[in-house]
């Protein structure tokens, strides 16, 4: 019961603090405005280039919105604790580490899905993209899988925050690379072979591919392999993130570097 | 005031250029945006379009750097408890925040070199500058204008503690309405008059015209005119918002 309390109450509290969420006037432009204009930017770029459809960019960038919330939410969690000088107190507590950081992960996943769905709906209306009602469950499933995988990657970045002081910039660069490498804005077959190899091992790639196939009429069953790959990648990053957390916490204690800016 | 501004620009440029990790962002972001444009626009088989996209991606980063530098610097001073000291000092706040914005834009000019090199080496983008002198002048003119547009935005950062997040949210809208990668002709007609008021439009056009052989001087001139206007508006806003923040006692709030 205490673990559940740490997950839900602790996670919600830290999440509110993370976003300084005191007013919708801050939350909406930052969390919703950014992805909406990102989708429109790339959709218009695609129109100008005459490459791919609006739907291609709409789905790709709506999923990137998941990456932003999942990765930054988790990635900034430890950096935020360090900045407000509460990291040592948090790590000195007997609370289960998995529960503490899972508490930070869950709201990020929920926010990622909410942001993706809302920005998708707004931009579909603006760009005149129609998606059939029957494809919505499949899209929702792909969204959850991608949100989980991105948040797991964010956990790895958050763990790095126990050792490095510039994790936010690093997360920023990783997020930027995903614009290209995940296939969100550039068809994967146009990328060099070695980039495609990286693409196959990162979150989002398979989730985006599955979502595009579903939006084009494919069934959930026919995209099950893509969805399973996305979930599997998320599991691998989750295990890696938890291992890194344990390792870096130990190193941070040993070298007394937890509060180093 | 002039020495304070020049010292501030030099200081913030040095500060922003010290951390290789931060600099990696300055290099990587525009390269990625340019790469997306190269991959997509390559289908048109117009090499000049790719060079134009390089400048668009560079000015995009310039604006991002201004927003991030100004809002980040204020937020950091809030956390360190030095913002009140800066406000209380006899030096006008414009001479403190203006250099942060201009310094950020000048750091953003690193992107021009990085993107041109990236495009030339990996995408065979032809790098040929038709008017070298005009191009050399267009770069600082663009940085000055984009930086001083940031001053207007930075004035709100004094008032709102979460201004950093709002500042970040302005990146894509400004990139869209200033036609940096997407021609304005593709956008709704109401966007065009908005673009005329924003410095990235003219900064990009100046670079574009100087490099590809057009008439860059009117665009460079517009950068200077807008810089003066932004300085007047930003300075006025800053005085007003500083007063409000002092009256509310909200300067320190983090």
What is the model's pLDDT at position A17?
66
- State how many domains chain B has: 1
pLDDT band at A91 (very low <50, low <70, confident <90, very high): confident
Stretch A56-63: mean pLDDT, rounded? Answer: 92
Q: What is the pLDDT of residue A228?
A: 96
Q: Give the pLDDT confidence of A105-152 residue by residue, as tens digits.
A: 777 777 778 888 899 999 999 999 988 889 999 999 999 899 889 888
In-domain check, residue B124: yes
Note the pTM of the prediction, 2 decimals: 0.87
Q: Three-class SS of residue A223?
A: helix
The C-alpha atoms of residue A248 and residue A79 are separated, in whole angstroms, by 13
Distance CA A76, CA A171 (A): 9
Reported confidence tier of residue A97, pLDDT bands at 50, 70, 90: confident
DSSP A178-204: HHHHTSSSS-GGGS-HHHHHHHTTSTT
Is position B69 within any domain? Answer: yes
Alpha-carbon distance of B254 to B251, in angstroms, equals 8
**pLDDT value at position B252?**
67
On the question of pLDDT at A261 being above 70, the answer is no
Residue B198: predicted pLDDT: 94
- Asked whether residue B253 is assigned to any structural domain, the reply reads no
For residue B164, name the pLDDT band (cuts at 50, 70, 90).
confident
Identify which of B22, B37, B40 has the shortest CB distance to residue A169.
B22
CA distance linking residue B142 with residue A103, whole number of Å: 45
Question: Which residues 6+ apart lie within 8 Å of B113 measured at CB?
Answer: none
**Across B224-252, average pLDDT:** 87
Average pLDDT over residues B191-204: 94
How high is the pLDDT of residue B43? 65
d(CA A160, CA A248): 7
Quote the mean pLDDT of chain A.
84
Name the one residue in this structure whose structure tokens are 């890194």: A244
- The whole-number pLDDT of residue A20 equals 57
Q: Which of B24, B37, B183 sits opposite A173 (nearest CB)?
A: B24
Are residues B40 and A83, on separate chains, in Cβ contact within 8 Å? no
Mean pLDDT of B155-163: 73
Residue A146: CB atoms within 10 Å: 34
- Cross-chain residue pair A176–B187, CB shorter than 8 Å: no
Question: What pLDDT score was predicted for residue B176?
Answer: 94
Q: What share of chain B is helix, strand, coil (3-state, %, to 5)?
A: 80, 0, 20
- Please list every residue in chain B whose beta carbon sits closer than 8 Å to the beta carbon of residue A33: 169, 173
| Residue B181: pLDDT over 70 | yes
**pLDDT of amino acid A211:** 94
Contact of B23 with B110, CB cutoff 8 Å: yes
**Do B39 and A176 make contact, defined as CB atoms within 8 angstroms?**
no
Domain region containing B212: 2-248
**pLDDT (0 to 100) of residue A1:** 67
Inside any domain, residue B223: yes
Give B87-122 pLDDT, tens digit per residue: 888 888 888 888 888 888 888 888 888 999 998 888
- The nearest alpha carbon in chain B to A45 belongs to B182
| Among candidate residues A105, A15, A52, the one with its CA nearest the CA of residue B36 | A52
| Closest-CA residue of chain B to A42 | B182
Q: Higher-confidence residue: A69 or A179? A: A179
Alpha helices, DSSP H, located in A136-259: 136-160, 167-181, 193-199, 205-215, 224-254
Mean pLDDT of chain B: 86
Q: What whole-number distance in Å separates Cα of residue B236 and Cα of residue A41?
A: 32
pLDDT of res. B9: 87
pLDDT at A60: 93
pLDDT attached to residue A21:
54
Name the pLDDT band for B86 (thresholds 50, 70, 90): confident
Instruction: For chain A, give every domain's residue range.
Output: 2-18+27-254
User: For residue B132, is it within any domain?
Assistant: yes
Query: Going by C-beta distance under 8 Å and a sequence separation of 6 or more, which residues neighbour residue B76?
Result: none
The residue in chain A having the minimum alpha-carbon distance to the alpha carbon of residue B19 is A166
Taking 90 as the threshold, does the pLDDT of residue A199 lie above it?
yes
Query: What residues in B contact A177, CB-CB < 8 Å?
Result: 28, 32
| B161: nearest CA partner in chain A | A20
Residue-wise pLDDT for B42-69, tens only, equals 766 777 888 899 999 999 988 988 888 7
């Amino acid at each position: 019961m205490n673990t559940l309390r740490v997950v839900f109450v602790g996670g919600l509290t830290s999440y509110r603090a993370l976003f300084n969420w005191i007013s919708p006037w801050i939350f909406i432009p930052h969390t919703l405005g950014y992805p909406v204009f990102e989708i429109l930017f790339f959709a218009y770029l695609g129109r100008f280039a005459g490459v791919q459809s609006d739907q291609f960019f709409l789905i790709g960038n709506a999923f990137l919105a998941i990456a932003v919330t999942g990765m930054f939410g988790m990635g900034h969690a430890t950096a935020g604790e360090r900045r407000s000088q509460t990291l040592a107190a948090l790590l000195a507590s007997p609370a289960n580490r998995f529960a503490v950081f899972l508490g930070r992960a869950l709201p990020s996943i929920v926010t990622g899905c909410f942001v993706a769905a809302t920005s998708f709906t707004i931009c579909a209306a603006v760009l005149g993209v129609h998606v059939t009602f029957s494809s919505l469950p499949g899209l929702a499933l792909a969204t959850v899988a991608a949100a989980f995988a991105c948040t797991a990657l964010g956990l790895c970045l958050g763990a790095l925050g126990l050792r490095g002081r510039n994790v936010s910039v690093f997360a920023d660069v990783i997020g930027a690379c995903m614009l290209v490498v995940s296939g969100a804005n550039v068809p994967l077959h146009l990328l060099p072979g070695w980039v495609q190899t990286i693409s196959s091992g990162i979150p989002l790639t398979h989730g985006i591919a599955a979502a595009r196939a579903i939006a084009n009429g494919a069934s959930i069953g026919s995209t099950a392999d893509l969805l399973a790959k996305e979930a599997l990648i998320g599991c691998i990053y989750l295990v890696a993130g938890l291992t890194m957390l344990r390792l870096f916490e130990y190193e941070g204690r040993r070298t007394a570097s937890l509060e180093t800016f | 005031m002039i020495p304070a501004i020049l010292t501030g620009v030099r200081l913030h440029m040095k500060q922003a250029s010290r951390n290789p990790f931060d600099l990696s962002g300055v290099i990587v972001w525009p390269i990625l945006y340019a790469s997306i444009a190269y991959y997509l626009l390559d289908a048109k088989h117009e090499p000049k379009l790719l060079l134009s996209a390089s400048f668009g991606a560079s000015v995009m980063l310039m604006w991002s750097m201004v927003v991030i530098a100004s809002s980040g610097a204020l937020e950091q001073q809030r956390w360190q408890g030095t913002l009140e000291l800066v406000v209380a000092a006899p030096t006008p706040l414009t001479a403190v925040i203006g250099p942060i914005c201009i310094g950020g834009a000048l750091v953003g000019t690193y992107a021009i070199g990085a993107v041109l090199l990236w495009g030339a080496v990996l995408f065979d983008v032809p790098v040929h500058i038709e008017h070298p002198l005009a191009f050399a002048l267009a770069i600082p003119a663009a940085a000055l204008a984009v930086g001083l547009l940031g001053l207007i935005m930075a004035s709100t950062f004094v008032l709102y503690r979460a201004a950093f997040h709002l500042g970040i949210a302005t990146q894509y809208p400004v990139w869209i309405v200033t036609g940096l990668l997407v021609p304005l002709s593709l956008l709704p007609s109401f966007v065009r008059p908005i673009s005329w008021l924003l410095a990235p439009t003219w900064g990009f056009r100046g670079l574009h015209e100087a490099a590809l052989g057009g008439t860059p001087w009117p665009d460079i001139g517009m950068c200077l005119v807008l810089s003066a206007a932004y300085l007047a508006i930003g300075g006025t806003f800053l005085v007003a918002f500083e007063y409000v923040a002092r009256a509310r006692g909200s300067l320190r709030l983090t």
